[in-house]
């Protein structure tokens, strides 16, 4: 099985989870680069506005083609109860090329909220496995290993004819 772990991260938490998943799943890693300046307080405010208004992001070209993979594991921070702009734009542009998708997110404490349903709606199909949702303090303390391992097991089980990772 070939897996692409694709994510956006403004402050590093989704990146940290994506890197762990990529190592466990032996997945290629693709960070989304949004050309908007999202640093600092103003960047935070702009990001919240963009998420609420579902404004598209301007993404740099991808290094990997999603169509080349059996599974795309997609990671987003929760912004205003939903997915961030970069992940929304990625899905709007590439959903038809995705064979199967799983989703993980990081959040400040509000949970995954509307994000999984939004991802499924943009994909036009259900997610392959239940969502991995990790709160900031869990990610910061490196305490999410049990949840991450459960998510990885559920993904490996999708491909019973492949070697276990």
Ligand X SMILES: Cc1cc2nc3c(=O)[nH]c(=O)nc-3n(C[C@H](O)[C@H](O)[C@H](O)COP(=O)(O)O)c2cc1C
Report the site for ligand X in 125-144 (rule: CB under 6 A). 136
**Applying CB under 6 A, which of residues 31, 66, 77, 116 lies at the interface with ligand X?**
77
**Which 20-59 positions form the footprint of ligand X (CB under 6 A)?**
44, 47-48
Rounded-to-integer distance, Cα 66 and Cα 69, Å: 6
Q: Residue 108 is encoded by which pair of tokens?
A: 């400040």
Piece of the chain touching ligand X by CB under 6 A; list 62-70, 79-87, 90-98, 142-150 = 79-87
Contact 135, 109 (CB under 8 A): yes
Tell me the site size for ligand X, rule CB under 6 A: 21
Question: Strand, helix or coil at 133?
Answer: strand
Residue 101's nearest CA partner among 5, 1, 15 is 5
Candidate residues 3, 24, 32, 78; the one interacting with ligand X per rule CB under 6 A: 78
With tokens 């959903």, the residue in question is 95
Name the DSSP letter for residue 38: -
| 117/157 with CB nearer ligand X | 117
Helix segments in 31-144, DSSP class H: 40-53, 85-94, 115-123, 136-140
- Work out whether 11 is an interface residue with ligand X (CB under 6 A): yes
Q: How far is the CB of 30 from ligand X (least distance, A)?
A: 14
The one among 3, 5, 6, 9 contacting ligand X by CB under 6 A: 9
Site residues (vs ligand X, CB under 6 A)? 9-15, 44, 47-48, 77-81, 106-110, 136
């Amino acid at each position: 099985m070939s897996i692409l772990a694709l994510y956006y991260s403004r402050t590093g938490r989704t990146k940290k989870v994506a890197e762990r998943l990529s190592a466990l799943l032996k997945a290629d890693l693709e960070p989304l680069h949004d050309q908007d300046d999202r640093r600092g307080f103003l960047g935070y405010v702009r990001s919240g506005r963009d998420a609420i208004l579902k404004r598209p992001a301007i993404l740099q070209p991808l290094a990997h083609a999603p169509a080349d993979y059996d599974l795309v594991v997609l990671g987003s921070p929760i912004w205003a109860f939903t997915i961030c702009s970069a992940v929304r734009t990625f899905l709007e542009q590439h959903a038809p090329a995705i064979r199967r998708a799983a989703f993980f997110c990081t959040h400040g404490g509000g949970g995954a909220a509307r994000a999984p349903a939004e991802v499924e709606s943009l994909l036009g199909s259900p997610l392959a496995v239940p969502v991995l949702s990790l709160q900031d303090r869990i990610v910061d303390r490196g305490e999410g290993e049990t949840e991450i391992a459960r998510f990885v097991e559920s993904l490996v089980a999708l491909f019973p004819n492949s070697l276990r990772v």
